[in-house]
Amino acid sequence: MSKLKGFGFADYEIGNRFSQETAYDKVDKIIDWSRIDKVLKSKYKKNKNAVGNPAYPALQMFKILLVQRWENLSDPQMEFALKDRLSVIRFVGLSISDPVPDHSTINRFRNELCRLQLYEKLLKEINNQLSQKGLKVSERKEKVIDVTVVESSRRPRKVVKGEIVEDRKEGDTSSYFDSASVVEYSEDKEASWLKKGNKYYYGHKASIIVDSEGYFEGGMTFPANEGDVTKLQDTVEKVDLKEGEELYGDKGFASNLNRHYLLENGIIDKIMHKKPKGKEMHWLLKLWNKSISRVRYVVEQTIGLFKRHLEFSRFKYVGREKNDMELYLVGIVHNLKKASKMVC
C-alpha cells in the first residue's frame, strides 16, 4: 500500500482495524505509484498553493480525482469524504491528522491537469503497468472503435432555429456539416443539438477505442452534430495504432477515405459495410459484418459501463479540453476497476 510521509501511531492502529480489503487496496497492489508520480512531475511544478503555503503533492491530488470519478462525487462531497472516509484517506495517502484539500483546491488541480494535458500519458502508463502485471494482454491486435452521445453539463436555452440534425441511419452517407441548425447556446457554446431516434440531445459525442478485452485505449470528444465517419482518423492517431493491428467498427465509419487511411498506415480494416442504396447486400458482405459484430460488441459493453457506473451520460464540466480530460479520467477509472476485480 502506498503511503506518504507523516503517518503516526493513530494511523497504524486504524489501519489494523480494516479486516476486509477494499477495491482501493487492490488498486494499490497493482499500480506502482512512483511511476505515476514521475509522469505528473514531468510537467507539474507547482510548489505553493494560492495563498503561498506548500502545495499538496500532485500524486495525492491525482488519486483524489480517481476516487472522485470512481464514486461520482462533487468537489464538496470529495472534500467531505477526505475528512470522513478512512478507506479514502488511506488510499489517497493522508494522515488522519493532516489538513485536507478543500473543494476549490481540487477544482484548481483538475484545471491544471487539463491545461498540462497529462491525462493521455497517465492512461498510457497505467495501461503499461496493467500489461506488465498480466492483467491486460498487450499483444492483442484487435481494437474496436465506436461513438456515443454525451449530453452537455449545461441545459440549452429554449430557442432553436432551423433544422435539428438527425443521427445517421443505415445507408445514409451524408455529412452533418450540411446542417442549417442554429441554436442560441447556453454557457456550453461548443455543444449542439442532435436527434437520435425519437429523442433530442444537446451536447457532444465521444469517439472511443478499446481493446478486445474492453480496456479503454483512448479517444476524443466533438460536437454532437458532426459525423462519426469524419472522426476515425483523429481518434486512431490519439491511440497511436501500430502496423498490423486490426480496427473494428460499425457502418458509421465506412467510407473510402477511412479505408484508404487504414490501408496506407498498415492497419487491418475491419469496418462493417453499408447496405448499397436500393440493392440487396451480397451474402459475403453479410457474413463479413456478422463476423465483425462478434468482436465489436465489447466497445458497446464498455460504453454501457461508462454510463451506468461512472455517470458518463452527461459531462460534468464545460469546454472541449475538459471534456477530453473527463473522458480519459473515466477510462482510467474503468480500467483500474476492471483490473482490480482480477486481483485476489
User: Which residues are CB-neighbours of 261 under 8 A, at least 6 positions away?
Assistant: 232, 233, 236
Tell me the C-alpha distance between 127 and 272, whole Å.
Answer: 28
Tell me the C-alpha distance between 228 and 206, whole Å.
Answer: 9
Question: What was the pLDDT predicted at 1?
Answer: 43
**pLDDT of the chain, 344 residues: tens digit per residue:** 444 445 554 555 555 555 578 999 999 999 999 999 999 999 988 765 555 566 899 999 999 999 999 999 999 999 999 998 989 999 999 888 888 999 999 999 999 999 999 999 999 999 999 999 999 987 778 999 999 999 999 877 655 555 566 676 544 544 443 444 454 556 888 888 888 888 888 999 999 999 999 999 999 999 999 999 999 999 999 998 989 999 999 999 999 999 999 999 999 999 999 988 888 899 999 999 999 999 999 999 999 999 999 999 999 999 999 999 999 999 999 999 999 999 87
Question: What was the pLDDT predicted at 48?
Answer: 54
Domains of the chain, CATH where assigned: 9-116 (no CATH), 139-318 (3.30.420)
Rounded to 10°, the helix 256-264/232-239 angle is: 30
Paired sense of beta strands 246-249 and 268-271, if any: parallel
Please state the pTM of the whole predicted model. Answer: 0.86
Q: Is 142 exposed, middle or buried (0-12, 13-18, 19+ CB in 10 A)?
A: middle
Question: What was the pLDDT predicted at 258?
Answer: 97
